[in-house]
Amino acid sequence: MRKLLFATAAMIVVSAAEAAPVVIEDGFVKAGVNDLGTLGSGGNNPPGILYDKTGAGSYGINDFLTPGTPFEGFYIKSSTGFWGANNTGATAFNTSAPSSITGKSASWTGTSTDGALTVTNTYMLTTLSGRSVIDVNTTIINTGTVTLTGLEFLRTLDPDPDVNAYGVYDTANAILSGDACGTGQHSGQTICIGTETGGKVGISAKWSTDPDVYLAGVNDGAFGDYAIGIAFALDDLASKGLISFNYYYALGANSGTASGGGNTGIPEPLTLGLFGAGLFGLWRSRRSKNA
Residue 190 and residue 181 in contact, taking contact as beta carbons nearer than 8 Å:
yes
Domain coverage including residue 59: 12-266
The pTM (predicted TM-score) of the whole model is 0.88
Domain presence at residue 273: no
Q: How far apart are CA 51 and CA 58, in angstroms?
A: 8
Domain presence at residue 6: no
Tens of pLDDT, residues 81-129 = 999 999 989 999 999 999 999 999 999 999 999 999 999 999 999 999 9
Domain presence at residue 276: no
Q: Is the pLDDT of residue 282 over 60?
A: no
CATH of residue 185: 2.70.98.10
Domain presence at residue 101: yes
pLDDT, position 263 = 53
Mean pLDDT, the chain, as a whole number? 88
- The band of 283, judged by pLDDT with boundaries at 50, 70 and 90, is very low
Tens of pLDDT, residues 153-194 = 999 999 999 999 999 999 999 999 999 999 999 999 999 999
Percent of the chain clearing pLDDT 70 (strictly above): 84
Instruction: Report angle CA 186, 191, 194 to the nearest 5 degrees.
Output: 150
Domain presence at residue 271: no
The residue with greater pLDDT, 8 or 77, is 77
Domain presence at residue 50: yes
Burial of 73 (0-12, 13-18, 19+ CB in 10 A): buried
Q: How far apart are CA 4 and CA 7, in angstroms?
A: 10
Cβ-defined contacts of 55-61 (< 8 Å, 24+): 55/26, 55/27, 55/28, 56/27, 57/25, 57/27, 57/30, 59/30, 60/165, 61/164, 61/165
- The band of 17, judged by pLDDT with boundaries at 50, 70 and 90, is low
Tens of pLDDT, residues 192-202 = 999 998 999 99
Nearest residue to 220 (alpha-carbon basis) of 205, 235, 231, 207: 205
Domain presence at residue 282: no
Q: In what order do the strands lie in the sheet with 29-33?
A: 22-25, 29-33, 49-51
Beta bridge partners of 192: 181, 250
Q: Is the pLDDT of residue 273 over 70?
A: no
What total number of domains does the chain contain?
Answer: 1
Element spanning 31, H or E: strand 29-33
Q: Backbone dihedral region of 68: left (phi > 0), alpha (psi from -120 to 50 degrees) or beta?
A: left
Domain presence at residue 106: yes
